[in-house]
Amino acid sequence: MSKWLEFMPRALLATQIVLVFGFTPQVTAATGYGLGRPATPAEIAGWDIDVRPDGQGLPPGRGSVAEGEKIYGEKCASCHGDFGDNPQYAQLAGGVGSLAGSSPVWTVGSALNNATTLFDYINRAMPFPNPKSLTPDEVYALSAYILNLSNIVPADAVLDQKTLPQVKMPNRDGFILFPGLMTAHGKSDIHAVACMHDCVKQVKVISELPAGFTEKFFGDISQEFRGLNTMNQTGEPQWVRVALNDSSAAPPSGYALAQKNGCTACHATDHKIVGPAYRDVAAKYQGDAQALEKLKAKVRKGGAGVWGEVPMPPQTQVSDGDLDAILKWVLSGGATTP
Protein backbone atom coordinates (compact mmCIF):
# COMPACT_ATOMS: atom_id res chain seq x y z
CA MET A 1 0.00 0.00 0.00
CA SER A 2 2.58 2.55 1.07
CA LYS A 3 4.76 1.51 -1.76
CA TRP A 4 1.95 2.16 -4.17
CA LEU A 5 1.35 5.64 -2.73
CA GLU A 6 4.98 6.38 -2.96
CA PHE A 7 5.21 5.44 -6.59
CA MET A 8 1.97 7.01 -7.62
CA PRO A 9 2.99 10.70 -7.87
CA ARG A 10 6.19 9.80 -9.61
CA ALA A 11 4.33 7.72 -12.15
CA LEU A 12 1.98 10.58 -12.84
CA LEU A 13 4.80 13.05 -13.10
CA ALA A 14 6.48 10.82 -15.63
CA THR A 15 3.40 10.76 -17.82
CA GLN A 16 3.20 14.51 -17.70
CA ILE A 17 6.78 15.03 -18.63
CA VAL A 18 6.42 12.78 -21.61
CA LEU A 19 3.25 14.45 -22.66
CA VAL A 20 4.58 17.96 -22.57
CA PHE A 21 6.48 16.97 -25.63
CA GLY A 22 3.41 15.29 -27.09
CA PHE A 23 0.20 17.03 -28.08
CA THR A 24 -2.02 16.51 -25.08
CA PRO A 25 -0.68 17.70 -21.80
CA GLN A 26 -3.79 17.96 -19.59
CA VAL A 27 -6.16 15.49 -21.20
CA THR A 28 -4.22 12.31 -21.16
CA ALA A 29 -2.56 13.08 -17.88
CA ALA A 30 -6.03 13.16 -16.34
CA THR A 31 -6.80 9.55 -17.27
CA GLY A 32 -3.39 8.30 -18.11
CA TYR A 33 -4.38 5.49 -20.46
CA GLY A 34 -2.00 6.60 -23.17
CA LEU A 35 -4.28 5.20 -25.86
CA GLY A 36 -5.22 6.73 -29.19
CA ARG A 37 -3.34 9.52 -30.90
CA PRO A 38 -4.13 13.10 -31.84
CA ALA A 39 -6.22 13.49 -34.99
CA THR A 40 -4.64 15.87 -37.49
CA PRO A 41 -6.67 18.69 -39.08
CA ALA A 42 -6.33 16.99 -42.47
CA GLU A 43 -7.67 13.71 -41.10
CA ILE A 44 -10.59 15.46 -39.47
CA ALA A 45 -11.37 17.42 -42.62
CA GLY A 46 -11.63 14.19 -44.61
CA TRP A 47 -14.31 12.72 -42.37
CA ASP A 48 -16.05 15.74 -40.84
CA ILE A 49 -18.85 15.90 -43.41
CA ASP A 50 -21.93 16.64 -41.34
CA VAL A 51 -23.89 19.81 -41.98
CA ARG A 52 -25.92 21.49 -39.25
CA PRO A 53 -29.13 23.52 -39.73
CA ASP A 54 -27.14 26.74 -39.22
CA GLY A 55 -24.96 25.81 -42.19
CA GLN A 56 -21.92 24.81 -40.15
CA GLY A 57 -20.09 22.16 -42.14
CA LEU A 58 -21.17 23.24 -45.63
CA PRO A 59 -18.24 23.12 -48.05
CA PRO A 60 -17.48 25.92 -50.53
CA GLY A 61 -19.23 25.45 -53.87
CA ARG A 62 -22.39 26.30 -55.80
CA GLY A 63 -25.00 24.70 -58.00
CA SER A 64 -28.09 25.71 -59.97
CA VAL A 65 -31.44 24.04 -60.55
CA ALA A 66 -30.59 23.59 -64.23
CA GLU A 67 -27.27 21.90 -63.46
CA GLY A 68 -29.03 19.74 -60.90
CA GLU A 69 -31.66 18.62 -63.38
CA LYS A 70 -28.98 17.24 -65.68
CA ILE A 71 -27.11 15.34 -62.95
CA TYR A 72 -30.37 14.11 -61.49
CA GLY A 73 -31.43 12.69 -64.85
CA GLU A 74 -28.19 10.75 -65.09
CA LYS A 75 -27.71 9.58 -61.53
CA CYS A 76 -30.95 9.69 -59.60
CA ALA A 77 -34.06 9.56 -61.80
CA SER A 78 -33.79 5.85 -62.48
CA CYS A 79 -34.77 5.15 -58.86
CA HIS A 80 -36.52 8.30 -57.67
CA GLY A 81 -38.50 9.09 -60.84
CA ASP A 82 -38.03 12.07 -63.16
CA PHE A 83 -39.94 14.33 -60.79
CA GLY A 84 -38.89 12.81 -57.48
CA ASP A 85 -42.27 11.16 -57.44
CA ASN A 86 -41.52 7.44 -57.35
CA PRO A 87 -43.06 6.31 -54.06
CA GLN A 88 -41.37 2.92 -54.38
CA TYR A 89 -38.16 4.59 -53.21
CA ALA A 90 -38.16 7.44 -50.70
CA GLN A 91 -40.33 10.08 -52.34
CA LEU A 92 -38.47 13.34 -52.84
CA ALA A 93 -41.11 15.83 -53.99
CA GLY A 94 -44.77 16.74 -53.63
CA GLY A 95 -47.26 16.64 -50.78
CA VAL A 96 -46.43 20.13 -49.51
CA GLY A 97 -49.10 21.19 -47.00
CA SER A 98 -50.58 17.70 -46.71
CA LEU A 99 -49.19 16.65 -43.32
CA ALA A 100 -52.11 17.88 -41.22
CA GLY A 101 -54.74 16.62 -43.69
CA SER A 102 -56.38 13.22 -43.86
CA SER A 103 -53.86 11.67 -46.26
CA PRO A 104 -50.41 13.07 -45.52
CA VAL A 105 -47.80 12.65 -48.28
CA TRP A 106 -44.42 12.50 -46.59
CA THR A 107 -41.59 13.71 -48.83
CA VAL A 108 -38.40 15.74 -48.65
CA GLY A 109 -40.44 18.71 -49.91
CA SER A 110 -43.38 18.34 -47.55
CA ALA A 111 -41.70 17.09 -44.38
CA LEU A 112 -38.09 18.21 -44.11
CA ASN A 113 -37.42 21.22 -41.88
CA ASN A 114 -33.99 22.30 -43.14
CA ALA A 115 -32.42 22.18 -46.61
CA THR A 116 -29.05 21.59 -44.95
CA THR A 117 -30.19 18.06 -44.04
CA LEU A 118 -30.95 17.35 -47.70
CA PHE A 119 -27.43 18.44 -48.65
CA ASP A 120 -25.91 16.42 -45.82
CA TYR A 121 -27.77 13.26 -46.78
CA ILE A 122 -27.16 13.37 -50.55
CA ASN A 123 -23.52 14.13 -49.87
CA ARG A 124 -23.01 11.15 -47.56
CA ALA A 125 -25.39 8.53 -48.91
CA MET A 126 -26.46 9.09 -52.52
CA PRO A 127 -26.54 7.95 -55.25
CA PHE A 128 -27.46 4.79 -53.42
CA PRO A 129 -25.08 2.44 -55.32
CA ASN A 130 -22.14 4.94 -55.31
CA PRO A 131 -22.28 7.12 -52.23
CA LYS A 132 -19.66 9.86 -51.67
CA SER A 133 -18.99 10.12 -55.41
CA LEU A 134 -20.45 13.61 -55.91
CA THR A 135 -18.58 16.93 -55.82
CA PRO A 136 -19.87 19.72 -53.56
CA ASP A 137 -21.03 21.62 -56.66
CA GLU A 138 -23.05 18.61 -57.75
CA VAL A 139 -24.62 18.24 -54.31
CA TYR A 140 -25.61 21.94 -54.25
CA ALA A 141 -27.10 21.54 -57.73
CA LEU A 142 -29.00 18.36 -56.84
CA SER A 143 -30.34 19.99 -53.67
CA ALA A 144 -31.51 22.96 -55.72
CA TYR A 145 -33.21 20.73 -58.28
CA ILE A 146 -34.97 18.55 -55.68
CA LEU A 147 -36.20 21.64 -53.81
CA ASN A 148 -37.41 23.13 -57.08
CA LEU A 149 -39.45 19.96 -57.76
CA SER A 150 -41.60 20.98 -54.78
CA ASN A 151 -41.51 24.68 -55.79
CA ILE A 152 -39.51 25.55 -52.69
CA VAL A 153 -36.88 27.43 -54.69
CA PRO A 154 -37.45 29.07 -58.11
CA ALA A 155 -36.21 27.55 -61.38
CA ASP A 156 -33.33 30.04 -61.56
CA ALA A 157 -32.11 29.40 -58.01
CA VAL A 158 -28.43 28.92 -57.28
CA LEU A 159 -27.52 27.43 -53.91
CA ASP A 160 -24.24 27.81 -52.05
CA GLN A 161 -22.80 27.95 -48.52
CA LYS A 162 -24.73 31.12 -47.77
CA THR A 163 -28.06 30.62 -49.54
CA LEU A 164 -28.74 26.96 -48.81
CA PRO A 165 -29.25 27.37 -45.03
CA GLN A 166 -31.60 30.28 -45.74
CA VAL A 167 -34.05 28.26 -47.83
CA LYS A 168 -37.38 28.38 -46.02
CA MET A 169 -38.68 24.81 -46.00
CA PRO A 170 -42.49 24.52 -45.87
CA ASN A 171 -42.31 22.35 -42.75
CA ARG A 172 -39.59 24.37 -40.99
CA ASP A 173 -41.78 24.93 -37.94
CA GLY A 174 -43.45 21.52 -38.10
CA PHE A 175 -41.12 19.75 -35.67
CA ILE A 176 -41.66 19.84 -31.93
CA LEU A 177 -39.90 18.40 -28.92
CA PHE A 178 -41.68 16.12 -26.48
CA PRO A 179 -39.46 15.79 -23.39
CA GLY A 180 -41.38 12.71 -22.18
CA LEU A 181 -39.65 10.58 -24.80
CA MET A 182 -36.26 12.29 -24.65
CA THR A 183 -34.97 10.98 -21.33
CA ALA A 184 -35.36 7.73 -19.41
CA HIS A 185 -37.01 9.62 -16.55
CA GLY A 186 -39.43 11.56 -18.79
CA LYS A 187 -43.21 11.21 -18.39
CA SER A 188 -45.19 9.48 -21.11
CA ASP A 189 -48.26 11.00 -22.75
CA ILE A 190 -50.10 7.66 -22.54
CA HIS A 191 -51.53 6.84 -19.12
CA ALA A 192 -52.95 3.33 -18.89
CA VAL A 193 -53.97 1.72 -15.61
CA ALA A 194 -53.54 -1.93 -14.72
CA CYS A 195 -57.12 -3.07 -14.11
CA MET A 196 -57.28 -6.77 -13.10
CA HIS A 197 -60.94 -7.92 -13.25
CA ASP A 198 -63.92 -7.19 -15.48
CA CYS A 199 -61.90 -4.54 -17.26
CA VAL A 200 -63.89 -4.49 -20.50
CA LYS A 201 -67.57 -5.24 -21.02
CA GLN A 202 -67.30 -6.78 -24.43
CA VAL A 203 -64.18 -7.67 -26.33
CA LYS A 204 -64.46 -7.18 -30.08
CA VAL A 205 -61.93 -8.27 -32.70
CA ILE A 206 -61.38 -5.13 -34.80
CA SER A 207 -58.69 -6.34 -37.19
CA GLU A 208 -57.42 -9.64 -38.55
CA LEU A 209 -55.67 -10.83 -41.69
CA PRO A 210 -57.97 -11.53 -44.64
CA ALA A 211 -58.33 -15.18 -45.66
CA GLY A 212 -55.52 -16.30 -47.93
CA PHE A 213 -53.31 -13.27 -47.13
CA THR A 214 -50.68 -15.15 -45.18
CA GLU A 215 -50.33 -17.94 -47.74
CA LYS A 216 -50.11 -15.45 -50.59
CA PHE A 217 -47.43 -13.21 -49.10
CA PHE A 218 -45.61 -15.40 -46.58
CA GLY A 219 -46.09 -18.93 -47.93
CA ASP A 220 -46.29 -21.81 -45.50
CA ILE A 221 -45.53 -20.14 -42.16
CA SER A 222 -45.62 -23.43 -40.27
CA GLN A 223 -42.10 -23.81 -41.69
CA GLU A 224 -41.00 -20.83 -39.60
CA PHE A 225 -41.34 -22.73 -36.35
CA ARG A 226 -39.04 -25.28 -34.82
CA GLY A 227 -40.48 -28.72 -35.41
CA LEU A 228 -40.07 -29.48 -31.71
CA ASN A 229 -42.09 -27.73 -29.06
CA THR A 230 -44.02 -25.40 -31.36
CA MET A 231 -47.30 -27.25 -31.10
CA ASN A 232 -47.61 -27.33 -34.85
CA GLN A 233 -46.99 -31.05 -34.93
CA THR A 234 -45.75 -33.76 -32.69
CA GLY A 235 -43.91 -35.64 -35.41
CA GLU A 236 -40.93 -34.74 -37.50
CA PRO A 237 -41.91 -31.97 -39.93
CA GLN A 238 -41.64 -32.79 -43.56
CA TRP A 239 -38.96 -30.25 -44.37
CA VAL A 240 -36.47 -32.07 -42.19
CA ARG A 241 -35.97 -34.92 -44.66
CA VAL A 242 -36.04 -32.57 -47.62
CA ALA A 243 -33.52 -30.25 -46.00
CA LEU A 244 -31.16 -33.01 -45.03
CA ASN A 245 -31.03 -34.25 -48.59
CA ASP A 246 -30.63 -30.81 -50.07
CA SER A 247 -27.15 -29.53 -50.73
CA SER A 248 -28.02 -25.91 -51.52
CA ALA A 249 -25.54 -23.96 -49.49
CA ALA A 250 -24.45 -20.37 -50.06
CA PRO A 251 -25.76 -18.59 -53.15
CA PRO A 252 -23.33 -18.78 -56.07
CA SER A 253 -20.65 -16.18 -56.37
CA GLY A 254 -22.29 -14.32 -59.28
CA TYR A 255 -25.05 -13.25 -56.98
CA ALA A 256 -22.61 -12.33 -54.22
CA LEU A 257 -20.61 -10.20 -56.65
CA ALA A 258 -23.73 -8.49 -57.98
CA GLN A 259 -24.61 -7.67 -54.40
CA LYS A 260 -21.13 -6.45 -53.59
CA ASN A 261 -21.15 -4.10 -56.58
CA GLY A 262 -24.57 -2.63 -55.86
CA CYS A 263 -26.27 -4.19 -58.91
CA THR A 264 -28.92 -5.79 -56.72
CA ALA A 265 -30.16 -2.34 -55.75
CA CYS A 266 -31.75 -2.21 -59.21
CA HIS A 267 -31.78 -5.80 -60.49
CA ALA A 268 -33.26 -9.03 -59.21
CA THR A 269 -33.09 -12.42 -60.86
CA ASP A 270 -36.75 -12.99 -61.41
CA HIS A 271 -38.51 -9.63 -61.39
CA LYS A 272 -37.98 -6.12 -62.67
CA ILE A 273 -36.92 -3.56 -60.08
CA VAL A 274 -35.50 -0.47 -61.74
CA GLY A 275 -33.58 -2.51 -64.26
CA PRO A 276 -34.70 -5.68 -66.03
CA ALA A 277 -34.82 -9.09 -64.34
CA TYR A 278 -31.56 -10.94 -64.98
CA ARG A 279 -33.58 -13.92 -66.15
CA ASP A 280 -35.07 -11.75 -68.90
CA VAL A 281 -31.63 -10.42 -69.85
CA ALA A 282 -30.38 -14.00 -70.19
CA ALA A 283 -33.35 -14.93 -72.35
CA LYS A 284 -32.89 -11.90 -74.59
CA TYR A 285 -29.25 -12.58 -75.35
CA GLN A 286 -29.41 -16.35 -75.53
CA GLY A 287 -27.21 -17.60 -78.35
CA ASP A 288 -25.69 -14.15 -78.97
CA ALA A 289 -21.92 -14.70 -79.00
CA GLN A 290 -21.22 -10.97 -78.73
CA ALA A 291 -23.51 -10.50 -75.75
CA LEU A 292 -20.83 -10.61 -73.07
CA GLU A 293 -18.66 -7.90 -74.65
CA LYS A 294 -21.67 -5.75 -75.60
CA LEU A 295 -23.08 -5.86 -72.10
CA LYS A 296 -19.72 -5.12 -70.51
CA ALA A 297 -19.53 -1.90 -72.48
CA LYS A 298 -23.16 -1.07 -71.76
CA VAL A 299 -22.88 -1.57 -68.01
CA ARG A 300 -19.70 0.52 -67.87
CA LYS A 301 -21.20 3.37 -69.89
CA GLY A 302 -24.79 3.04 -68.69
CA GLY A 303 -27.68 4.07 -70.91
CA ALA A 304 -31.33 3.51 -71.75
CA GLY A 305 -33.53 2.32 -74.57
CA VAL A 306 -33.17 -1.44 -74.53
CA TRP A 307 -35.57 -2.11 -71.68
CA GLY A 308 -37.36 1.21 -71.47
CA GLU A 309 -36.89 4.91 -70.93
CA VAL A 310 -35.17 4.64 -67.58
CA PRO A 311 -31.37 4.74 -67.94
CA MET A 312 -28.86 2.62 -66.07
CA PRO A 313 -26.23 4.96 -64.54
CA PRO A 314 -22.62 4.22 -65.59
CA GLN A 315 -21.22 1.48 -63.33
CA THR A 316 -17.64 2.63 -62.93
CA GLN A 317 -17.07 1.12 -59.50
CA VAL A 318 -17.06 -2.51 -60.59
CA SER A 319 -13.70 -4.15 -61.44
CA ASP A 320 -13.18 -5.84 -64.83
CA GLY A 321 -12.91 -9.22 -63.14
CA ASP A 322 -16.10 -8.76 -61.14
CA LEU A 323 -18.01 -7.45 -64.15
CA ASP A 324 -16.94 -10.42 -66.25
CA ALA A 325 -18.04 -12.87 -63.56
CA ILE A 326 -21.31 -11.07 -62.90
CA LEU A 327 -22.27 -10.91 -66.57
CA LYS A 328 -21.40 -14.56 -67.21
CA TRP A 329 -23.62 -15.38 -64.28
CA VAL A 330 -26.36 -13.08 -65.60
CA LEU A 331 -26.19 -14.63 -69.05
CA SER A 332 -26.43 -18.08 -67.51
CA GLY A 333 -29.77 -17.12 -65.99
CA GLY A 334 -28.69 -15.40 -62.78
CA ALA A 335 -29.82 -18.21 -60.55
CA THR A 336 -29.73 -17.48 -56.81
CA THR A 337 -29.91 -21.19 -55.99
CA PRO A 338 -28.20 -24.00 -57.90
Partner 1 sequence: MSEPKPRYGRIVLAPEDFLPTRGLSRRAFFDLLAAGGAAAVSAAVAGRAQADDANLPPHVPPWSKRLGAPVNAAYGQPSPYERNIIRREDPGLTPTREASVVFTPLQNLFGIITPSGLHFERDHGGRPDINPYEHRLMIHGLVRQPKIYTVEDILRFPSVSRIHFIECGANSAMEVRNVSVPTVQYTHGMLGCSEFTGVLLSTLLDDVGYDKKRARFILAEGADAASLTRTIPIEAALDDAMVVYGQNGEMLRPENGYPLRLLVPGFQGISNVKWLRRLKVGDQPFNTREETLHYSDLMPDGKTRQYTWIQEAKSVITSPSGGQQLLDRGYYQITGLAWSGRGKIRRVDVSTDGGRNWHPARLQDPILSKALTRFRFDWHWDGSPALLQSRCIDETGYVQPTVTQWRAVRGTRSIYHYNAIQTWKVDPDGKVSNVQVA
Tell me which residues touch ligand HEC (CB under 6 A).
Answer: 75-76, 78-80, 89-90, 92, 108, 118, 121-122, 126-129, 142, 261-263, 265-267, 274-276, 281, 295, 298-299, 303-308, 310-313, 315, 318, 326, 330
Please report, as residue ranges, which positions from 156 to 215 form the binding site for partner 1 (by CB under 8 A): 171, 174-178, 181-186, 188-200, 203-209, 213-214
Residue 109 near residue 94, CB atoms below 8 Å: yes
Q: Which does 78 bind (CB under 5 to 8 A by kind): partner 1, ligand HEC, none?
A: ligand HEC
CB of 173 to partner 1, least distance (A): 9
Q: Measuring CA to CA, how many Å separate 275 from each of 26, 97, 108, 165? A: 57, 33, 24, 36
Toward ligand HEC, which CB reaches closer, 62 or 298?
298
Lay out the site mask for partner 1 across 100-129 (x = CB under 8 A, - = otherwise).
xx--x-x-x--xxxx-xx--xx--xx--x-
The length of the chain in residues reads 338
* Beta-carbon-side half-sphere exposure of residue 181 (alpha carbons within 13 Å): 5
Q: Which does 63 bind (CB under 5 to 8 A by kind): partner 1, ligand HEC, none?
A: none
CB of 196 to partner 1, least distance (A): 5
Toward partner 1, which CB reaches closer, 196 or 250?
196
Cα–Cα distance measured from residue 58 to residue 160, given in angstroms and rounded to the nearest whole number: 8
Cα–Cα distance measured from residue 157 to residue 136, given in angstroms and rounded to the nearest whole number: 16
3-state secondary structure of 32: coil
Cα–Cα distance measured from residue 214 to residue 218, given in angstroms and rounded to the nearest whole number: 5
Please report, as residue ranges, which positions from 1 to 30 form the binding site for partner 1 (by CB under 8 A): 23-24, 26-28, 30
Of 137, 85, 78, 75, nearest to 109 (Cα)? 85
Cβ-proximal residues to 255 (8 Å cutoff; 6+ apart), any chain: 264, 269, 329, 334, 335, 336
Of 210, 125, 118, nearest to 159 (Cα)? 118
Q: Which does 304 bind (CB under 5 to 8 A by kind): ligand HEC, partner 1, none?
A: ligand HEC
Q: Which does 149 bind (CB under 5 to 8 A by kind): ligand HEC, partner 1, none?
A: none
Toward partner 1, which CB reaches closer, 131 or 154?
131
Among 7, 83, 88, 155, binds partner 1 (CB under 8 A): 88
